């Protein structure tokens, strides 16, 4: 083997670049997945907050319609994701009116090499309404 070939065989100066080129895409995918998951948790927390605040408003005006309640909840959302569904039901329990507000948030995390991961978040807020 000539002296130049032996020098190239022992030279390790480009090894770090090759390792980075292999590991960087995986690291970027993992970081993007973490960011997506954090966004989903933020949207779910925003939904819970919007339901709680809107339920307090429902206690002040117990004759609020479901459409007005849904509009109020969607106006209180801090995360602007359209995959939010809100429902309101009012029932009488032991002679008292009780409102149950339910919000669902569906999101899927897209993956390049595998099927997307669906995430489903559902929260319910139960509020006792004053008698009118």
Instruction: Give tens-digit pLDDT for 72-128.
Output: 998 888 776 677 899 999 998 888 889 999 999 888 887 777 788 888 899 999 998
User: What is this structure's pTM?
Assistant: 0.75
φ/ψ region of 87 (left if φ > 0, alpha if ψ in -120 to 50, else beta) reads beta
pLDDT band at 10 (very low <50, low <70, confident <90, very high): low
What's the CA gap between 87 and 83, in Å, rounded?
14
Nearest to 54 by CA among 119, 105, 103, 5: 103
Burial class (CB in 10 A: 0-12, 13-18, 19+), 88: buried
Lowest mean pLDDT of 2-11, 13-22, 32-41, 123-132, name the range.
2-11
**pLDDT tens-digit profile of 115-125?**
888 888 999 99
């Amino acid at each position: 083997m000539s002296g130049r070939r032996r020098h190239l065989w022992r030279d390790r100066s480009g090894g770090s670049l090759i390792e980075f080129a292999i590991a960087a895409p995986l690291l970027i995918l993992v970081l993007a997945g973490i960011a997506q998951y954090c966004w989903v948790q933020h949207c779910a927390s925003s939904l819970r907050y919007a339901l709680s605040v809107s339920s307090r408003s429902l206690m002040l005006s117990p004759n609020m319609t479901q459409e007005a309640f849904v509009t109020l909840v969607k106006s209180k959302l801090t995360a602007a994701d359209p995959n939010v569904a809100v429902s309101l039901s009012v029932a009488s329990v032991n002679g008292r009116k009780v409102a149950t507000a339910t919000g669902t948030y569906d999101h899927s995390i897209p993956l390049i090499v595998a099927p997307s991961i669906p995430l489903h978040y559902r929260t319910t807020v139960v509020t006792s309404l004053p008698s009118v």
